[in-house]
Structure formats: structure tokens, C-alpha cells
């Protein structure tokens, strides 16, 4: 079986669902959405907490409600979707090979492609914790799936390493389900997750948060019996003599997410180490013409609203590309991180559209800050800058039209 | 009378203002740190009765998955969260269930309802039921 379409979207989480809908709304006639799981929605299905869509829909949805809303809209269109469909390869000329139980191995010819594969969790092996290899060490998202979809409690006495939002949310969730969460340990000297999650998920349930701490040993042969935690110094090295043994049967890891770009690499798409995602322009086009990228496969966003916004932009431009309404135009300029900028997205500006820029600072500043775009001469003010809170802002096309060289972004004290 | 001091972190928006209040006879005599009116409202509500949305799951039979996600349809008093969870302990639903189907009314004496947050279709047998040797354990 072979399929020929205008736009193919790979992945049906918040980015992919939004992209499929908007490719259709932007006039693409044949839109195909591919999902490797047995239903649409991606990670939203297990994120049962509220706080989704506050900016996009002005509603406080839970993850499943947010997904259902997009799926209901999608069902009203003629967008096709294939479930249980795994994309095996993507070539630079946008040929897709996929496999599913119903269709077997098949090929898709697509005028443009939107990458929306999302990200995955960093596992134990990526942070090198010494000790034995017992059962009971899970990433926070896996534990979330066990509890919220499959109905299993991963343990009774839990230590959480890392204060990312999923870890914080699981601390509350496991407490409500009757487990005892002994503490959240964070190697940095500031929390990884949003402040509101520290309050609602930890403080509300008297769960302690230990900053500048990490797990330095996992104990137990068959099952986790305890962990050793240590303070860390400013270089994040464990401080000798600060070790403390904590009995527990489960260790959850909430130590970061990495964009899932195996397909992108195969298609010859250039990635950047800053985001671990494709290098894109403000149109979300990657360095391979006609392949666009959005959501957490591009860079790990803090809010679903941002994920959806990039999905919308990618879809609109993928539809234009598929319709042949795509001029090469001016050569793109680089957007580069300056003082106190750890991450920025997108990395290039191609003079086609307004620029929506996402930046993350390297060091927290709890004082009024200025964000400067040089040489554009643009200067924005914010009340503070925190590495765990992405800053989003829009720069109009008009302001950028005279730029000829790289644009440098900095975040400094006012 | 003694002045009682309390500290709050506002959760209305991502700024998360650190707000200090001073109370005398339970009345607010000063408030510092809130950047807007919403922060003031938040603190007054926290002092009167802290309110939270509760999201959790209940078991469901005859569906593809073991658990159905649910929520309170409005914020409920924080001190009653464990009561709400207790009241849901014995519930087991049967698929199909529609999103926003009311599962419990006036849960734990609040005037909030517990509602489903997704559609869950009926299936003949859970896909993994046969090969799954471990039955679901009660938490």
C-alpha cells in the first residue's frame, strides 16, 4: 500500500494534533497524521492534572480534556489518521516508510512533513548514579503512566530525584494514592519546576524539597531498599561527610527531557546541541526544505500553549509549502545566544514571518531584567528571569527587515 | 494583641509573588509583596479557606485502560482533599463513559461534583488482560 498526501504530521501529541488541524485549516487538502500508539493524544492522556490551555483556550483543562478538545475538532475534518503506526524512516526528499499491524510496511509520499515526535525522559544511565541495579527505579513519566492509566502504584516509600514539573506532580499524585514521598532532591540551587507546582504539589502536602542535593548511591539487590543522598558544592560535586541514608522502596527520576530526533537525523536534518532539536527558522522549517518541526521535538517547552503555538506555525507553513506557495527569499540570518542566555529557539530568521522567540536564561536573576536583541535595538523588560521559566516574545517582521548579520540575544540586570 | 505573621507564595500566575501578611485578631493589618490585586485576593482566600482543584483517577471495567481520569468540577477546600479521595475509594465504573459525566455529586459534603475528564469507550476485553499475570493491587 502506498499513500500520497500534501502534508504528513508525525506524532499526535499536543504539537501534532494542533499541526494536523491547522494544516487542514490552512488549506492543505490531504493531511495525514501518524501515531505509533493505539490512540491519539500522546503524553496528554496520562497528564491528568489541570493547568493546560490557560493561554490558548483561556480554560483550565486537564491533559485528557485538552486532548479530547483537539481530537473532537480533528474528527470534524477530513484529516486522516493512522494509529499503531510506527515511522521507520524519513529521507531528505520526504519519503516516509512506516509499518502498522493493519497495513504492514508501506510508503508515504508527502509534499511537506511536520515533525512532532516530542521528547523522552533522561534515564538513570544518563546521570550515572552508582550502586546496585534493583527494581524500583523509574522515571517520573513511567510512574505517571503506571498510576494514571494502568492503575499500579510503583511503591510505598518514595524518593524523587530532580524537581522538574513531572517529578513535582508525581509527588502529589503518589501522596494522594497513599504512598509516602520522603522528599524531592534537586542538584541545582534552584527548583527545576514552576513555582506554583512547588506550592501546590509539595508545600500543600508537607513534602520537603532539598536544593543542592543529589542521590549518590542506590541500595538493594532485588528491590530498592534505600538511597544515599549528599549535599553538593557549587561545582555540583558531592560534599564528603554529608551523606545521609534514606530507606525507601522506590526512586523516581525527574532529571530532564530530551527531544526524540532519530528520524530527523536520518533525514539529514541539522540538530543543535543547545536544544538537542533541529535548527529551524521562524517558520519552523528545518535545514531540509519542506520538513518542518514543532513542539518538544524542537526544544523542550514549559507550557503546552507554546507547544501548540509552534505546531500552528509549522502547519501553516507546511501547507503553504505543499501548495507550492514557498519562495526561497532572502538568506536567513543566525540568532545566537549572548550574555546569560542558555537556550534560544528558533535559531535562524528567514524574513518570511514575525519572529516568535523563546529564550531561557542561564543564571536566575530575581531583579528587573532587560532582554536585548542586538543589532535590532529592541529592548524588553521583565520583572525577573528564571532558568525554569522560558521567556516568549514576538518581534515584528517590520523591526527585522533591515538586519543583515547575526542577531544576538542577551538577558541582563536592568 | 500580638501580631501574627504569615507567608504565602501566590499561585495565580507564574510570577509567584512572595507575600507577607500581618494579622491581628485574625484580621489582615498589612500585606506586602503582591504585585497585583489577584495576589491580595489569593491570600484572603487562603486565610479564609484554601481551595484547590483535585484531579485523580477511578478504576473502570470494560475499557481499554484500567483507570479513568476524573476531576472536581470546581475548587474544593484543601483540608477536604483526603476526604474526597476516601469517598472515591470504593467506586468502580463500567465503560462506556462520556467526558464530563458526573460520577459523584456533592463529594465529601462540598458542592462540587467529580466528573470524568475523557471519553472511554467500551471494549470487549482489555488488550493486555490475557497476558498480564498480575492483577491490579489496591493502593
Instruction: Say whether pLDDT at A404 is over 50.
Output: yes
Q: Is B17 helix (H, G, I), strand (E, B) or coil?
A: coil
Kindly report the nearest CA distance between residue A326 and chain B, in angstroms: 38
Cβ-based contacts of B82 with chain A (< 8 Å)? 176
- Percent of chain A surpassing pLDDT 70: 100
Which of A62-66, A129-133, A147-151, A364-368 is predicted least confidently?
A129-133
Instruction: Say whether pLDDT at A55 is over 90.
Output: no
**d(C-alpha B93, C-alpha B62), whole Å:** 9
In chain A, residues 263-322 whose CB comes closer than 8 Å to chain B: none
Domain layout of chain A by residue ranges:
1-121+258-326, 123-255, 330-414
| CB atoms A151 and B15 under 8 Å | no
Q: What's the CATH class of domain A123-255?
A: alpha beta
**d(C-alpha A123, C-alpha A170), whole Å:** 16
Asked: is B55-116 a CATH 3.40.190.10 domain? The reply is no
Q: What is the mean pLDDT of chain A?
A: 96
**Closest residue by Cα to residue A11 from A34, A45, A32:** A34
Q: Does A123-255 match A1-121+258-326 at the fold level?
A: yes
What is the pLDDT, as a whole number, of residue B139?
38
Query: Could you identify the residue written with the cell 540570518?
Result: A333
**d(C-alpha A17, C-alpha A152), whole Å:** 28
| CB atoms A195 and B67 under 8 Å | no
Cβ-based contacts of B65 with chain A (< 8 Å)? 149-150
**d(C-alpha A139, C-alpha A12), whole Å:** 22
What is the pLDDT, as a whole number, of residue A1?
66
Kindly report the nearest CA distance between residue A37 and chain B, in angstroms: 13
Q: Is B26 helix (H, G, I), strand (E, B) or coil?
A: coil
CA distance from start to end of chain B: 48
Mean pLDDT of A219-229: 97
What is the pLDDT, as a whole number, of residue A131?
86
What is the pLDDT, as a whole number, of residue A126?
87
Q: Is B21 helix (H, G, I), strand (E, B) or coil?
A: strand
pLDDT digits (tens, 9 = 90+) for A82-124: 999 999 999 999 999 999 999 999 999 999 999 999 999 999 8
* Selected residue of A146, A196, A209, A385 to mutate for chain B interface (largest B Cβ count, 10 A): A196
| CATH code linked to domain A330-414 | 2.60.40
Mean pLDDT of B36-61: 95
For B117, the closest of A48, A177, A204 (CB atoms) is A48
Region at A261 (left for phi over 0; alpha for psi -120 to 50; beta for the rest): alpha
Find the residue in A nearest to B66 (Cα): A150
Q: Could you tell me how many CB contacts below 8 A there are between chain A and chain B?
A: 86
Contact of A167 with A193, CB cutoff 8 Å? yes
For B117, the closest of A64, A194, A199 (CB atoms) is A64
* Selected residue of A63, A174, A176 to mutate for chain B interface (largest B Cβ count, 10 A): A176
pLDDT digits (tens, 9 = 90+) for A309-324: 999 999 999 999 999 9
Length of chain A measured in residues:
414
Domain layout of chain B by residue ranges:
4-49, 55-116
- The band of B137, judged by pLDDT with boundaries at 50, 70 and 90, is very low
Cβ-based contacts of B52 with chain A (< 8 Å)? 200, 204
C-alpha angle A270-A279-A297 in degrees, rounded to nearest 5: 95
Cell of A411: 538577558
- State how far the alpha carbon of A220 is from the alpha carbons of A131, A182, A267, B20, in Å: 9, 17, 43, 45
Kindly report the nearest CA distance between residue B25 and chain A, in angstroms: 25
Instruction: Say whether pLDDT at B138 is over 70.
Output: no
**d(C-alpha A44, C-alpha B124), whole Å:** 25
Contact of A213 with A229, CB cutoff 8 Å? yes
- Percent of chain B surpassing pLDDT 90: 78
Find the residue in A nearest to B89 (Cα): A177
**Closest residue by Cα to residue A241 from A257, A249, A230, A252:** A230
Cell of B52: 484547590
Range A1-121+258-326: architecture per CATH: 3-Layer(bba) Sandwich (3.50)
What is the pLDDT, as a whole number, of residue A332?
96
Fold entry, domain B4-49: N-terminal domain of TfIIb (2.20.25)
Mean pLDDT of A130-151: 95
What is the pLDDT, as a whole number, of residue B71?
98
- The band of B127, judged by pLDDT with boundaries at 50, 70 and 90, is low
Cell of B25: 485578631
For A50, the closest of B71, B99, B136 (CB atoms) is B71
| CB atoms B11 and A49 under 8 Å | no
Instruction: Say whether pLDDT at A185 is over 60.
Output: yes
What is the pLDDT, as a whole number, of residue B128?
52
**d(C-alpha A412, C-alpha A340), whole Å:** 7
pLDDT digits (tens, 9 = 90+) for B102-113: 999 999 999 999
What is the pLDDT, as a whole number, of residue A173?
98
What is the pLDDT, as a whole number, of residue B135?
47
ipTM field: 0.92
Amino acid at each position: 500500500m502506498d499513500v500520497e498526501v500534501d502534508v504528513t504530521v508525525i506524532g499526535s501529541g499536543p504539537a501534532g494534533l494542533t499541526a494536523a488541524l491547522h494544516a487542514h485549516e490552512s488549506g492543505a487538502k490531504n493531511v495525514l497524521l501518524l501515531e505509533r500508539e493505539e490512540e491519539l493524544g500522546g503524553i496528554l492522556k496520562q497528564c491528568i492534572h489541570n493547568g493546560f490551555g490557560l493561554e490558548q483556550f483561556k480554560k483550565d483543562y486537564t491533559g485528557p480534556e485538552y486532548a479530547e478538545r483537539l481530537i473532537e475538532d480533528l474528527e470534524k475534518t477530513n484529516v486522516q489518521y493512522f494509529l499503531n503506526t510506527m515511522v521507520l524512516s524519513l529521507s531528505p526528499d520526504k519519503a516516509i516508510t512506516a509499518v502498522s499491524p493493519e497495513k504492514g510496511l508501506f510508503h508515504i509520499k508527502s509534499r511537506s512533513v511536520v515533525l512532532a515526535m516530542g521528547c523522552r525522559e533522561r534515564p538513570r544511565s544518563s546521570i550515572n548514579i552508582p550502586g546496585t541495579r534493583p527494581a524500583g527505579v523509574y522515571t517520573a513519566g513511567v510512574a505517571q503512566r503506571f498510576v494514571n492509566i494502568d492503575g499500579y502504584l510503583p511503591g510505598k516509600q518514595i524518593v524523587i530525584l530532580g524537581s522538574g514539573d513531572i517529578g513535582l506532580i508525581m509527588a502529589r499524585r503518589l501522596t494522594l494514592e497513599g504512598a509516602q514521598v520522603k522528599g524531592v532532591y534537586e542538584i541545582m540551587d534552584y527548583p527545576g519546576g514552576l513555582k506554583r507546582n512547588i506550592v501546590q504539589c509539595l508545600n500543600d502536602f508537607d513534602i520537603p524539597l532539598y536544593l543542592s542535593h543529589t542521590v549518590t548511591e542506590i541500595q538493594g539487590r532485588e528491590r530498592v531498599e534505600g538511597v544515599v543522598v549528599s549535599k553538593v558544592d557549587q561545582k555540583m560535586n558531592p560534599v564528603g561527610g554529608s551523606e545521609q541514608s534514606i530507606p525507601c522502596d522506590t526512586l523516581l527520576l525527574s532529571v530532564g527531557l530530551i527531544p526524540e530526533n532519530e528520524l530527523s537525523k536520518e533525514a539529514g536534518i541539522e540538530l543543535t546541541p543547545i536544544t538537542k532539536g533541529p535548527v529551524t527558522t521562524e517558520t519552523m522549517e528545518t535545514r531540509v526544505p519542506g520538513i518542518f518541526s514543532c513542539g518538544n521535538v524542537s526544544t523542550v517547552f514549559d507550557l503546552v500553549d507554546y507547544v501548540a503555538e509552534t505546531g500552528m506555525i509549522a502547519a501553516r507553513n507546511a501547507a503553504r509549502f505543499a501548495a507550492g506557495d514557498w519562495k526561497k527569499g532572502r538568506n536567513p540570518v543566525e540568532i545566537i545566544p549572548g550574555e546569560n542566555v542558555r537556550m534560544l529557539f528558533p535559531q535562524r530568521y528567514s524574513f518570511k514571518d514575525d519572529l516568535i522567540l523563546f529564550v531561557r536564561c542561564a543564571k536566575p536573576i530575581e531583579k528587573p531584567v532587560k532582554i536585548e536583541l542586538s543589532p535590532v535595538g529592541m529592548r524588553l523588560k521583565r520583572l525577573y528571569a528564571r532558568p525554569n521559566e522560558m521567556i516568549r516574545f514576538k518581534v515584528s517582521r517590520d523591526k527585522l527587515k533591515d538586519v543583515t548579520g547575526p542577531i544576538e540575544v542577551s538577558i541582563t540586570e536592568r | 494583641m500580638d501580631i501574627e505573621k504569615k507567608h504565602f507564595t501566590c499561585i495565580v500566575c507564574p510570577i509567584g509573588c512572595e507575600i507577607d501578611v500581618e494579622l491581628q485578631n485574625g484580621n489582615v493589618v498589612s500585606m506586602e509583596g503582591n504585585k497585583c490585586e489577584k495576589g491580595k485576593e489569593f491570600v484572603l482566600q487562603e486565610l479564609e479557606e484554601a481551595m484547590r482543584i483535585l484531579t485523580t483517577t477511578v478504576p473502570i471495567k470494560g475499557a481499554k485502560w484500567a483507570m479513568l481520569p476524573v476531576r472536581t468540577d470546581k475548587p474544593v477546600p484543601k483540608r477536604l482533599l483526603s476526604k474526597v479521595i476516601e469517598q472515591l475509594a470504593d467506586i468502580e465504573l463500567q465503560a462506556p463513559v462520556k467526558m464530563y459525566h458526573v460520577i459523584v455529586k456533592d463529594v465529601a459534603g462540598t458542592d462540587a461534583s467529580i466528573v470524568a475528564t475523557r471519553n472511554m469507550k467500551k471494549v470487549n476485553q482489555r488488550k493486555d488482560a490475557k497476558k498480564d499475570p498480575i492483577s491490579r493491587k489496591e493502593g
